Amino acid sequence: MTEPKDKPAVWQGGTVWLTGLPSAGKTTIAVGLAERLRAGGHRVQVLDGDEIRAALSAELGFSKEDRDTNVRRIGYVSGLLAAHGVTVLVPVIAPYAMSREAVRDQHAAQGVPYVEVHVATPVEICADRDVKSLYARQAAGEISGLTGADDPYEAPVAPDLRIHTQDRTVEESVRQVHAVLTERGLS
Ligand code: ADP
């Protein structure tokens, strides 16, 4: 029996975690990549950091322990979705290496693909972009505990991809991540 020609492709799911400083470009790349993947027939879910915090981690603050709990919760949800064929894009700072490794290990234990992308925009550029005025508010003393300003960010040592957005257009950055997914058989 032959397959119908218009049978939709069934893609394998996976998690793509975009880690980096505030205003590095994580959300912008995730949104562009989502559009591109959906056009190719993928089921895609973007887990926006602010939205998911409000939904799953409203009681948590920004201590190391609370950030770790938040990242692990997001990783858990992402793993569940990815195991069911969804490409999950996670534009979430995730400043601590240990939490990111826990998420990677959890995906490995589930046999679910996991791709770590370091959106490595330098802090000076991020502070200049300041999409949510967080750097300005931190500098004015209105908030504290801002990753990259007065809170730590442990840059990934060996991410699957490192992007320097200051030298690239959004389209080029999206293409770079898409190419890694293609290499991994995820697009
Ligand atoms: P984050 O989600 O990391 O906090 P955003 O994606 O909300 O950051 O904001 C990043 C800003 O940087 C956007 O205004 C975006 O247009 C800009 N930008 C400039 N060049 C790039 C690029 N190559 N990739 C991603 N974002 C870029």
User: Pocket of ligand 1, candidates 16, 17, 18, 28: which has the most ligand atoms within 8 Å of its Cβ, to mutate?
Assistant: 28
Residue 9 lies in a domain: no
Strands of the chain, DSSP E: 14-19, 43-46, 86-91, 114-119, 161-163
What are 138-181's pLDDT values in tens digits? 999 999 999 999 999 999 999 999 999 998 999 999 999 999 99
Query: CB-hemisphere CA count at 13 Å for 181?
Result: 26
For the Cβ of 26 lying below 6 angstroms from any atom of ligand 1, the answer is: yes
Residue 3 lies in a domain: no
Residue 130 lies in a domain: yes
Residue 10: which pLDDT band, with cuts at 50, 70 and 90? Answer: confident
- Is 25 annotated in a binding site? The answer is yes
What is the CB neighbour count within 10 angstroms for residue 111?
7
Residue 2 lies in a domain: no
Q: How far is the CA of 27 from the centre of ligand 1 (A)?
A: 7
- Is 27 annotated in a binding site? The answer is yes
What percent of the chain is helix, strand and coil (3-state, nearest 5)? 45, 15, 40
Separation between Cα atoms, residue 1 and residue 115, nearest integer Å = 37
Burial of 5 (0-12, 13-18, 19+ CB in 10 A): exposed
What pTM was estimated for this model as a whole?
0.95
What are 85-125's pLDDT values in tens digits? 999 999 999 999 999 999 999 999 999 999 999 999 999 99
Q: How far is the CA of 121 from the centre of ligand 1 (A)?
A: 9
- Please tell me the total count of domains within the chain: 1
Please, what is the Cα angle at 160 between 85 and 44, to 5 degrees?
25
Residue 183 lies in a domain: no
Q: How far is the CA of 73 from the centre of ligand 1 (A)?
A: 25
- CATH number of the domain that residue 40 is part of: 3.40.50.300
For the Cβ of 108 lying below 6 angstroms from any atom of ligand 1, the answer is: no
Residue 6 lies in a domain: no
Structural domain span for residue 83: 14-178
Residue 8 lies in a domain: no
Q: Work out the average pLDDT over 19-26.
A: 98
CB within 8 Å of 2: residues ≥ 6 apart: none
User: Pocket of ligand 1, candidates 18, 23, 135: which has the most ligand atoms within 8 Å of its Cβ, to mutate?
Assistant: 23
Supply 160's token pair: 């699957």
Residue 96 lies in a domain: yes
Separation between Cα atoms, residue 162 and residue 73, nearest integer Å = 24
Separation between Cα atoms, residue 176 and residue 6, nearest integer Å = 29
